[in-house]
Amino acid sequence: MSNIFLKYLLALVLLTFFSTSFAEPKEEADEKPIVIMIGIDGLRADTLERMPAPYLRSLADSGVRASMIPAMPTKTFVNFYSLATGLHPKNHGFVSNYPYDRKIGRKFNRQTDVSDPKWWGGEPIWITAEKQGVKAATYFWVGSEVEIDGVRPSFWKPYQQDKDYAERVEEVLGWLALPEKERPRLITLYFSAVDSAAHDFGVGSAQERDAVAKVDQHIGDLLHGLNKLGLEPQTNIVVVADHGMVNLSDQRVINIDPWLDLSTFIIPDWSDERSSVHAPFLNLYAAPVSVDTAYTKLHKAHPNMRVLRRGNFPANYHFDHPQRGPDLMLLADPGWSIYASRDKRKPEPMAKLGRPVATHGYDNQDPLMHAIFIASGPAFNKKLTTAPFDNIEIYGLLACALKIKPSNTDGDIKNVQYLMAQDC
Ligand code: AMP
Ligand code: ZN
Ligand code: ZN
């Protein structure tokens, strides 16, 4: 064997040795992805076109971005739980913020039922993660206060609307600063300010703008913190909203009081202060005879209100849960509101009521109801803006980014594989 050949062989052996030993730590970093899902209530899909939000903009510019089609009805609990589980409302059970359950015999109670598994169907992504040994932490999310299959996120908190935003971000960074063995790799973080400002002051108001700027600044603080911790290279940031928002008007009110006495109906959404007199939709539960009467009286009552009977809901609504699907759904056109008072009050001007001046809950195909989606990080494609997709696909994207096995959902990762930089 020639000397040159021996040298060549030795070089090859050394090269292989060094390349594998140096490649290992990198591979390990790649194998331990972190996902932070940030939920911004009511952040409409077109927000970045309407106002400055430099940190959200930079995430969108570097990663992937799309409008997201929410589940029906386009309300908060319905959609944050679809995002978490990948399920349609007919399978997870939240057919409104306050579902009524025929078998349980009452409506959902926010004080007591948030931790009762019988209200919560499916498997949220943090449960899937924990079952596979990936620690999860929820800084608020609809459905995060309940034990499912005996499992909870390693870190979670009872919902607290007025919790300071800077403290939320600091605590999230505290979790990320933990030693690797204790550190959660799936984190959720939730902000309600944009939804509240838009409800109370309107889409396009200075208050909505300020709320977006405030949330954006806190996201900026989170990104700086990640950078300081050196965790940026393995972290995926996924920003989602539950629905959009549209302004209401006193000129677009459908007063159904003269048509029908609703006192014999169960109307769970009347628990919702904002929806009680100016509702985007009303789910009605009643005996068949009352349903027939209501349908006959209402179905041609107003050109801007649809009256949908159980069994005839549009196919893409997917919200006819066996125990919770309403007998009737009254659905206003976007920007219209249904006025139905319990006490036959005359419709009062919105300015006098003070709120709401904007709302959501309307048809999920309307672009004004579409929600923002931005994702940036090693698992996601770069500099890509794509067509709208359904929010039930988010669960699969999160599972793919975390490299865990998803449970069965109504989504199909093939529909959104193009958003990813890795095979799912
Ligand atoms: P909506 O009536 O659909 O606009 O609901 C928005 C409101 O939902 C927010 O202002 C919060 O008060 C409430 N909310 C959001 N997440 C949670 C949660 N995890 N637990 C209880 N309430 C929540
Ligand atoms: Zn919401
Ligand atoms: Zn809202």
User: Domain limits of the chain?
Assistant: 26-87+122-246+366-419, 249-355
Give 20-68 as a DSSP string. HHHHHHHHHHHHS-EEEEEEETT-BTTHHHHS--HHHHHHHHHSEEEEE
Which ligand 1 atom is nearest residue 275's CA? Answer: 2
CB distance 111 to ligand 1 below 6 Å? no
Q: 26-87+122-246+366-419, what's its fold?
A: Alkaline Phosphatase, subunit A (3.40.720)
Q: In this structure, are residues 204 and 51 in contact, taking their beta carbons and an 8 Å threshold?
A: no
Which ligand 1 atom is nearest residue 144's CA? Answer: 19
CB distance 195 to ligand 1 below 6 Å? yes
Q: In this structure, are residues 338 and 308 in contact, taking their beta carbons and an 8 Å threshold?
A: no
Q: In this structure, are residues 105 and 113 in contact, taking their beta carbons and an 8 Å threshold?
A: no
Q: State the DSSP H helix or E strand holding residue 237, giving kind and residue range, or none if neither.
A: strand 235-240
Q: What is the pLDDT of residue 11?
A: 43
Both tokens assigned to 285: 């539960």
Report how far apart, in Å, the C-alpha atoms of 142 and of each of 76, 114, 325 are: 8, 8, 20
Report how far apart, in Å, the C-alpha atoms of 370 and of each of 43, 96, 295 are: 9, 17, 29
Domain at 249-355: CATH code:
3.30.1360.180
Rounded Cα distance between 381 and 388, Å, is: 16
Nearest CA to ligand 1 atom 17: 142
Beta carbons within 10 angstroms of residue 103's beta carbon: 8
Beta carbons within 10 angstroms of residue 250's beta carbon: 14
Backbone φ and ψ of 265, nearest 5°? -100, 150
Q: What is the pLDDT of residue 236?
A: 98
Question: What is the 415 CA–ligand 3 centroid distance (Å)?
Answer: 28
Q: Divide the 424 residues of the chain into consecutive groups of 10 and give the mean pLDDT of each group.
A: 47 40 42 94 98 98 98 98 98 97 96 97 98 98 98 98 98 98 98 96 97 98 98 98 97 90 86 73 94 94 97 95 97 94 69 79 98 98 97 98 98 98 97
CB distance 211 to ligand 1 below 6 Å? no
Q: What is the pLDDT of residue 261?
A: 81
| Ion ligand 3 — residues with CB < 5 Å | 195
Which long-range contacts link 225-228 to residues 24+ away (Cβ below 8 Å)?
Answer: 225/169, 225/173, 225/176, 226/173, 226/176
Q: What is the pLDDT of residue 276?
A: 64
Which ligand 1 atom is nearest residue 76's CA? Answer: 3
Q: What is the pLDDT of residue 348?
A: 73
Ligand lying nearest the CA atom of residue 192? 1
Active site residues: 76
Q: What is the pLDDT of residue 344?
A: 64
